[in-house]
Amino acid sequence: GNCVAMISGDAERTFVSWPGAESMLNLDMMASVRVAPGDWVFASGYTLSYPGSRDALADWIEALPAEIPFVFDPTPVISDIPRAILDRVLARTSWLSCNTAEAVQIAGAGDVEAIAAGLLSNHCPSADGVIIRAGAKGCFVRLADGSRQAVPSFKVAAVDTNGAGDTHIGAFVSALSRGVPPFEAASYANAAAALSVTRHGGSSAPTDQEIQTFLSHDDRMTTVHGREQEA
């Protein structure tokens, strides 16, 4: 498929997209996608929004080995995902990453702490945690054990917010997969997203070294990769 992103003067974006091969999946196609111990699996709500792919993908996700972490982002097209499909995928989710509007659509209105708690108790019963992204305000993380933290963002001059959410998820999962604790992984992801919005284009994710350098110049202590860095 194709997607055209139009960026306004305030760095926000509007998408014009049309589906392609990703909208036509069946279980035979999915059978060739193998997972192994140590792998992490991510799925986007976009693929679940397509009538020609949602059933096969949901079946495949449900059949994942229990030890494989599954990360889900419902994306802005959440309203196009049938509730039955959405509920099946949420039930298998290890980590849910969504923005505030998407979280409200799943769990209902309320303050962020109540919404996060509701996501875990009522919709993602097997999840390790949920992360609610709030753009320039950072993110809120709640773990299955009840611990929670609002993780602040970093001040930057944004020129293009296209890809910031994807960068955030990728950085968060990358950190988790290396053993970084969730709250620290969220700060790492906030830094990655902050860097991405200072660059034009959808492929603006920074490298690990760029993130580490950015964090090392921040005015507060940050722990990433299991070691402390202080400006």
State the catalytic residues: 166
Q: Which two tokens stand for residue 164?
A: 């910031």
What is the maximum alpha-carbon separation in the chain?
Answer: 52
Alpha carbons 47 and 57: distance in angstroms, whole number: 8
Alpha carbons 197 and 94: distance in angstroms, whole number: 27
206: which DSSP letter? P
Percentages of the chain per state (helix, strand, coil), in multiples of 5:
40, 20, 40
Alpha carbons 133 and 189: distance in angstroms, whole number: 10
Cβ atoms 61, 43 nearer than 8 A = yes
Paired residues of 14 in beta bridges: 6
